[in-house]
Structure 1
Amino acid sequence: MFCVDVQHKKCIMICVIHSRRSIMARATVTLPQDLLTELMSLVGARSKTEAVITAVKDEIRLRKVARIKAMAGQMEFTAEADDLRHGDRRLG
């Protein structure tokens, strides 16, 4: 659907972005029951879905942290902390 009204287009874009954030995917996964039970206990999940979502989020976070740690010493950074805190003229 196309419209000429700019405000209407903005409204449509906001709705699309909002609806994309709530899109869920279904997956069928075969897991050993004892592994799933232990996972639910460790993360304090009330459901299998909650346990798996928590585990996936944790794994993603851990891998991102590992990538950042792997970059240690590879970037040259010469600014001092005080310069960064107080050097931005926009902040007055």
Structure 2
Amino acid sequence: MTSKFISTGKIARSTRAGGITGIRSGDYGPVTNLYNARHAWLDHTHSALDEAVAEAYGWGDDWRVGVLTDDEILARLFRLNQARA
């Protein structure tokens, strides 16, 4: 794993823990409400994690220019799986 991926995971874990604390104290309501509200910290965390995963697979440039659609990601993962099988 790359150090960027590991550090992003730590950020995701800590920001999510902050959100969970808010949920427990009643700030956000159910977890579904938290995700539906798409708070800025949640969007930032998801974007950072998406970029770190793309980098880990060697797809960082493609991710940054926006050519990695869901279908393209699945196709690439399928090809990797077939190559490793």
User: Normalization by structure 2: what TM-score?
Assistant: 0.30
User: Bigger relative contact order, structure 1 or 2, given CA contacts below 8 A and separation 6+?
Assistant: 2
User: Normalization by structure 1: what TM-score?
Assistant: 0.28
- Indicate the structure (1 or 2) with the bigger Cα radius of gyration: 1
